[in-house]
Structure 1
């Protein structure tokens, strides 16, 4: 049984209930609703819905719109101010109402809109964070208002932590809980969008009658439109003017009898008016059982974001608490995988997933699902009970960025200007870490201009960090940056046209030749790598042979032999006419090195 607001989704009997009354709903609309509820809180694309519900049948996408309209009618939802199903134009739908698993203990004075993870495996190793949240909730019960910021990278588990906290809170403290989300938008952001979303949940019938009465008395202009339409005679005429002071007073009124927990997810995407409301709520001194819980993703010291300034001001004046979520340790990633698989994971899986997810729970689960979908992990039902087994070596990460993660990363990238995107794409030609001089070389632009863009991205985007500087041969310095996650670099690299990548790699190789003129052997391997990536095989072979000579001069004969063996494999890309003489020369060089190694070992 899944509950949201006053509804209950009975999957066993495939029916929908409202309070104690069954609502008639056709099988296909029910299937759409069930899928959205089971994936609550995230975007479900049109293609995903069609593939899930009609896996082997072609269905016109227009049919989804028909079913969504039918569901809105059943739920009493409004497309413009969604309480349940939020439309993402040209992309899909998101179920935004908090979801609770199991029967809710009614009749105890509680009007909780409970939040619950769609799976029980969504949180591991967050005991310390939960303890801190419970401590704040205890103070709320004593009428000491609390503002809590939960910070961390995309996918680090902020929502899962909030869900688990709400689940545990519901057992011990009667509370009103409502959630609003910061909305992504390319144009002007709607004022108070997350606040209005939360108010719609607070006032949803039948549990929202008390909130409606208080809003109608203290802040009628903030009363949700649907509540006014349901019973217009109940409410006195009001001014169209909305003021933050009225809303603060009304929220404090709601938070007198029961605790009120307001959750604002992704506040870094919210409008400035919402930030101002949180600021005012935090500074008022009226006793109230009020807790504002904020999740936000401001990585890399994004100091120019207004949310950063608000949080720092509240921290300085001790008006808020900050909980920063770190990546999971390797053991915790292993536990997450065991919970997901329902058994001990295959021997190499924990290390592989931890290495490439870097402890990010969302990335870890996405990688696991990708390995299963691509049949690197399969169920073996020959033994007692089905067990997961690795059936082939895990692939290089370059070949397997999961599609859902790639889409998430692309959304972050596309918030940037075209110039900023080009800088990050050029940076991905190096590696996870990159110096500014290489980015400027790949783009063919001024290093000072490039450095300004990199610095701005480090302060605002949350995609890169500044980690130091690179000392160049001419005595100058070039700042050094690193992507916050290797998967960001992979997506940025793969999204570029092949011709642009080749041009960038060639320019970096040429810049290395110029910077280390007379000492090219010192960076010959790096030069060769870029020529290989550009498909310039003759220059790659020459650079590798140069690197082998440098290694041999330093007495590193084994390393020199490895480089020449690699050069032989690169020769396979040359024409038959060109490769023959070059291979002969390389084989002769290899023979000399091996003879030298044999003499040394005697």
Structure 2
């Protein structure tokens, strides 16, 4: 581990530490920082970084700008007066801070797992958050009301954390627990639904029964109809708050409301009022929320921000697991202290640390019999049945279905935009979507910005300078699995046509300088099955590599061209390989052989 300033780079757990506090970083920004730290005091060019982080994949250099902004925010580093990372315009970056070796012993995240001490999977990577909730419960028991928002993407482990916390609280038998669930489609139809759900089972407490009656008789809640089909509208929110506070005076009350992004306005108003009201109350409110397509997350985010600014609540944003935590989760699932070689890296790279994705990929490998339990006497052991580099990394069915459900909340036009965005391997610019769909660029960019503000799995990542002097925004998917599902849901013919339109637009943007984008255009042509144009563009890239004396890259391009020519020849109708076309292909191969000899 390396230390610079007040920060420690933890390469084992792939995270950053500051004064004993772990600062989680997404995999790619961490990889950028790690590479710069490992090559201090010298220029690291954009191309070098891209080759190190995305080998064998063409990625627009502008994506580095986005990750650098993320790193500067975490490090509190000013680009104009840098302490850690110096930007060298149009060239790259240089890590300028002094480095020292840091001992690993004092960092709590580095766990050693023995066969008999495997932790419950629900607690993996969440011990600090669980401790914060426990501390809040102790403060509430002393009379100081507590409001917590637990947030994070789908599958990050919000429910697992809540269940572990609730189990510990219920074990004391001295706390009243009310647990409600917000349901999609109920907001706006049934006011206070999650509160009614929390108290639906009744209680020995007379005050709790009064709360139940109050909610049952409130406007829009299930259970009691009034005159002419209307429900009594006599409930005053202030009375409900007072009743809940009375309930919390008898003994500590833990009120859990899950999936607040689906909550109605009345429920949010009650949470806001309870947080703002003065006076002692042995009340703890814990909510969970996830930015989700089609949900009412924006009012939740506004409420959370307002209460946090006033210091009336606390927010816990659950990060993705670091590599060692993901391995711990896998060991707990398999009940095996030592994982098969390569399994942890494979699953982590494809899950990117999302706990549900980790487990789904593991279950997928088991279902496909790639990972199997093999008997060794009385001790069965999980072993790989074939190398993971030969394993299809397709999105597991459960995750694909979950992603499809989220996509279906969007309009048809929005789905088309995201499908077009999936044509790019990492970041997708607005001009690419406009080209793929044949749309106006300005209107497409506005639609992309609006979409990125609404949905949870796309974010605006920055702007790209085009050769004609204009700028185009570009975007990234929160997880590669979203891109994969969106890519595969397109018919092959539609996908090919879109790839060709993108390639043609790319060449038009860089007219006269095709060699600069030759590999990118070739990738789109190849994905469309247009072998001739793909080969032509790769030759331009080969010629440029030779001129720059980049002989290793030229050798790779030479092999790639040979593969495409073989594919093109295989797809030719019978007899098409004769004549001038065949001679031209032979001539090209001869020229490439000459290049190969020089390399």
CA 335–252 in structure 1, closer or farther in 2 if over 3 Å, else same: same
| Alignment of 1:414 onto 2:416 | no
Q: 2:467 aligns with which of 453, 473, 495?
A: 473
Judge conservation of contact 2:148–2:286 (CA < 8 Å) in 1.
Answer: yes
Q: 1:263 aligns with which of 215, 240, 256?
A: 256
In the other structure, the counterpart of 2:217 is 221
CA 538–224 in structure 1, closer or farther in 2 if over 3 Å, else same: closer
Separation of aligned partners in 2, 1:543 and 1:287: 72
Separation of aligned partners in 1, 2:274 and 2:245: 9
In the other structure, the counterpart of 2:355 is 361
Report the 3-state secondary structure (helix = DSSP H, G, I; strand = E; otherwise coil) of the residue aligned with 2:123.
coil
Separation of aligned partners in 2, 1:325 and 1:342: 25
Judge conservation of contact 1:568–1:583 (CA < 8 Å) in 2.
Answer: no
Query: What are the residue-to-residue correspondences of 1:153-192 with 2, within 5 Å?
Result: 153-172=153-172, 174-185=174-185, 189-192=189-192
Deviation at 1:393, TM superposition (A): 2.3
In the other structure, the counterpart of 1:33 is none
Query: What are the residue-to-residue correspondences of 1:169-568 with 2, within 5 Å?
Result: 169-172=169-172, 174-185=174-185, 189-201=189-201, 203=202, 207-208=203-204, 210-215=206-211, 221-222=217-218, 240-298=233-291, 305-343=298-336, 344-394=338-388, 399-568=393-562
Separation of aligned partners in 1, 2:256 and 2:508: 55
Judge conservation of contact 2:157–2:356 (CA < 8 Å) in 1.
Answer: yes
Separation of aligned partners in 2, 1:424 and 1:318: 38
Deviation at 1:587, TM superposition (A): 2.3
Judge conservation of contact 1:152–1:299 (CA < 8 Å) in 2.
Answer: no
Judge conservation of contact 1:219–1:246 (CA < 8 Å) in 2.
Answer: no
Report the 3-state secondary structure (helix = DSSP H, G, I; strand = E; otherwise coil) of the residue aligned with 1:322.
strand
In the other structure, the counterpart of 2:596 is 594
Deviation at 1:192, TM superposition (A): 2.2
Report the 3-state secondary structure (helix = DSSP H, G, I; strand = E; otherwise coil) of the residue aligned with 2:147.
strand
Deviation at 1:135, TM superposition (A): 1.4
Separation of aligned partners in 1, 2:222 and 2:435: 58
Report the 3-state secondary structure (helix = DSSP H, G, I; strand = E; otherwise coil) of the residue aligned with 1:587.
helix
Deviation at 1:586, TM superposition (A): 3.5
CA 433–274 in structure 1, closer or farther in 2 if over 3 Å, else same: same
Deviation at 1:525, TM superposition (A): 1.1
Judge conservation of contact 1:218–1:246 (CA < 8 Å) in 2.
Answer: no
Bigger RCO of structures 1 and 2 (CA < 8 A, at least 6 apart): 2
In the other structure, the counterpart of 1:138 is 138
Judge conservation of contact 1:557–1:593 (CA < 8 Å) in 2.
Answer: no
Deviation at 1:175, TM superposition (A): 1.5
Deviation at 1:594, TM superposition (A): 2.1
Deviation at 1:133, TM superposition (A): 0.9
Aligned positions, number: 466
Deviation at 1:187, TM superposition (A): 9.0
352-361 or 171-180, which deviates more: 171-180
Separation of aligned partners in 1, 2:213 and 2:424: 61
CA 216–355 in structure 1, closer or farther in 2 if over 3 Å, else same: closer
Judge conservation of contact 1:214–1:254 (CA < 8 Å) in 2.
Answer: no
Separation of aligned partners in 1, 2:469 and 2:272: 48
Gaps of 5+ in 1: 1-118, 230-237, 598-602
Separation of aligned partners in 2, 1:305 and 1:354: 31
Separation of aligned partners in 2, 1:240 and 1:189: 14
**What does the per-residue CA deviation read over 1:484-503, in whole Å, with 9 as the maximum and x for residues that have no partner?**
11111111111122222112
573-582 or 370-379, which deviates more: 573-582
Deviation at 1:193, TM superposition (A): 2.2
Separation of aligned partners in 2, 1:517 and 1:142: 71
Query: What are the residue-to-residue correspondences of 1:112-123 with 2, within 5 Å?
Result: 120-123=120-123
**What does the per-residue CA deviation read over 1:552-587, in whole Å, with 9 as the maximum and x for residues that have no partner?**
121123322221221222222430525744542332
Gaps of 5+ in 2: 1-118, 226-230
In the other structure, the counterpart of 2:40 is none
In the other structure, the counterpart of 1:68 is none
In the other structure, the counterpart of 2:99 is none
Deviation at 1:273, TM superposition (A): 1.9
CA 309–259 in structure 1, closer or farther in 2 if over 3 Å, else same: same
State the Cα RMSD in Å.
2.8
**What does the per-residue CA deviation read over 1:340-384, in whole Å, with 9 as the maximum and x for residues that have no partner?**
111111110111111111111000000000011111111111455
**What does the per-residue CA deviation read over 1:216-243, in whole Å, with 9 as the maximum and x for residues that have no partner?**
78777359999999xxxxxxxx955232
Report the 3-state secondary structure (helix = DSSP H, G, I; strand = E; otherwise coil) of the residue aligned with 2:183.
coil
Report the 3-state secondary structure (helix = DSSP H, G, I; strand = E; otherwise coil) of the residue aligned with 2:155.
coil
359-368 or 557-566, which deviates more: 557-566
Judge conservation of contact 1:303–1:459 (CA < 8 Å) in 2.
Answer: no
CA 274–213 in structure 1, closer or farther in 2 if over 3 Å, else same: closer
In the other structure, the counterpart of 2:37 is none
Report the 3-state secondary structure (helix = DSSP H, G, I; strand = E; otherwise coil) of the residue aligned with 2:149.
strand
CA 353–511 in structure 1, closer or farther in 2 if over 3 Å, else same: same
CA 263–594 in structure 1, closer or farther in 2 if over 3 Å, else same: same
CA 396–292 in structure 1, closer or farther in 2 if over 3 Å, else same: farther
Judge conservation of contact 1:189–1:270 (CA < 8 Å) in 2.
Answer: no
Separation of aligned partners in 2, 1:142 and 1:509: 65
Separation of aligned partners in 1, 2:483 and 2:506: 21
Report the 3-state secondary structure (helix = DSSP H, G, I; strand = E; otherwise coil) of the residue aligned with 1:256.
helix
Separation of aligned partners in 1, 2:179 and 2:459: 31
245-254 or 124-133, which deviates more: 245-254
